[in-house]
Amino acid sequence: MTPSEDKKRKLGRGLSALLGEADNIASNLDTSRAVKMIPIEFLQPGKFQPRQKMDVESINELSASIAKNGVLQPLLVRPLTDTNNNLYEIVAGERRWRASQKAKMHEVPVIIKDLNDLETLEIALIENLQRQDLSPLEEADGYQRLMHEFKHTQSELAKAMGKSRSHVANTLRLLSLPEFIKTMIVDGRLSAGHGRALLGAKNIKDLAKVVEKQGLNVRQTEELVKKENSDSIKPVSRSFTKDADTVALERDISDTLGLKVDIKFQDGQGTLTLHYKGLSQLDDILARLTRKQKNPRVN
């Protein structure tokens, strides 16, 4: 098995396989040699953290749990060899670290691994994605980075994350949204479902404002986009090319009647249109059409 095949096989088994640790590490903190207690001040956030925004409320809830039960799952860290042996970079578990600080913990359990930058980035992305607490756009960015930087397919990611392939594909679609729509999603003014519904809109900015102002749900947003797109499609009128004979006939009839004349002829049929100015011209046309011959010619 090649290294790339082995990595893909491990990705499908989840984060524990990537780390090479037992599944029940959290329940064996006291006996596992892999787990060490590190002073909390010896840790610093990872530079490859995919989460762009930490939710304060969830940190507070986790802090309350840690204050009562301790840190049940160790953090994954790597040594910062470019500084000194006492400092470590957090690869996975920054939320637990921040919550432990709020809970006034002095030490936290960690697993120390020698990882390069690429391994650190991949693990940080997968760990956060598996925890399902990233925003939709952070999740989409994580999938994209795993695909572009590590050559994972949508199917592999779906299997590793316990998601459907359509979920991964639909999440990735969010990255094609304009920046102002992404901002609205981050701010909570629109949901990821709204964003996907607006993707096909021709006038996406104005429609997004309508959706926000009227509080439309995703289904209503889809109907709004469908209506807007159908209204913008105008039927194309068929053009009629007049040949020289038709133009000459128009001129002859116009000279005879003293009116503008249009003839349209196609596929063996057509229309003759007389243009008049005022009721007097209309009366004259009607008189000519209804006039009877007083002295019919006798053959």
Show which residues are catalytic. 94
Distance of CA 262 to the CA centre of its chain: 53
Smallest Cα–Cα separation from 80: which of 109, 108, 30, 42? Answer: 42
Smallest Cα–Cα separation from 126: which of 2, 7, 6, 5? Answer: 7
Q: How many whole angstroms separate alpha carbon 14 and alpha carbon 121?
A: 15
Smallest Cα–Cα separation from 21: which of 101, 75, 100? Answer: 75
Q: How many whole angstroms separate alpha carbon 194 and alpha carbon 221?
A: 7
Q: How many C-beta atoms lie closer than 10 Å to residue 276's C-beta? A: 16
Residue 81, class by beta-carbon neighbours within 10 Å (0-12 exposed, 13-18 middle, 19+ buried)?
exposed
131 token code pair: 């925890």
Q: How many C-beta atoms lie closer than 10 Å to residue 110's C-beta? A: 25
Tell me which residue has tokens 């397919």. 153
Q: How many whole angstroms separate alpha carbon 260 and alpha carbon 272?
A: 11
Helical (H) or strand (E) element with 117: helix 117-131
Q: How far apart are the first and last CA of the chain?
A: 107
Distance of CA 174 to the CA centre of its chain: 1
Smallest Cα–Cα separation from 128: which of 213, 50, 16? Answer: 50
Smallest Cα–Cα separation from 15: which of 111, 107, 106, 86? Answer: 111
